[in-house]
Structure 1
């Protein structure tokens, strides 16, 4: 799989900060677009700000996927997501129930 190790490390770093009582969310992120995904943000739907780029220093090439673990210590399932691509385009989706979703696909 052509995902970068740095992206996996960034996602794993979130797991270190979660309290034991909170449930981690796991889902697959697919890039079915025609360009590299260079930034990926996940924030609780109740937040007005985007959290850090989970692909910092990495990217997700078209046709590939990566496992995402959200271990932010929250018990919510409802998140907003944003993807930014190498060509500068953005895609945003709001109020997703990631507990039920299991996967998310960016496409053209």
Structure 2
């Protein structure tokens, strides 16, 4: 499983981001994929394993928002997001999202016909 470091209060220094980013905040993930998401994982880019599903027993419908207590106090700005769609179990990833350049909001998009994924930060 990928180490995701999503719990508030993680220890460590922020080598690549400003020190102010080490504080706890809420990360809002908006589902704009057109599909219901049954699982969502977030982990630092470059790790090999995903860890716990952030949705638990819930799902994230299209156009819904998941608010996550998040601390960017890990030693990276770059994160990966992986989702699993409810309808067919397809896994889709958004790699290398720079959380240090965003204001706590990211919208996930997926074009089912081309397979292209995009993430837009707000």
TM-score (norm 2): 0.64
The higher relative CO (CA closer than 8 Å, separation ≥ 6) is in 1
Q: Secondary structure at the match of 2:31?
A: strand
Counterpart in 2 of 1:79?
Answer: 79
Q: What's the CA shift for 1:34? A: 2.8
Counterpart in 2 of 1:106?
Answer: 109
Counterpart in 1 of 2:49?
Answer: 49
Structure (1 or 2) with the larger CA radius of gyration: 2
Structure 2: gaps spanning 5 or more residues: 1-5, 15-21, 112-122
Partner deviation per Cα, 1:7-26 (whole Å, 9 max, x = no partner): xxxxxx822x4238661464
Root-mean-square deviation over aligned CA pairs: 2.5
Structure 1: gaps spanning 5 or more residues: 1-12
Kindly indicate whether the alpha-carbon contact (under 8 Å) linking 1:38 and 1:60 is maintained by their aligned counterparts in 2.
yes
> Could you say which structure has the higher helix fraction?
1
Measure the CA separation in 2 of the matches of 1:91 and 1:75. Answer: 25
Q: Secondary structure at the match of 1:69?
A: strand
Counterpart in 2 of 1:18?
Answer: 10
Kindly indicate whether the alpha-carbon contact (under 8 Å) linking 1:78 and 1:97 is maintained by their aligned counterparts in 2.
yes
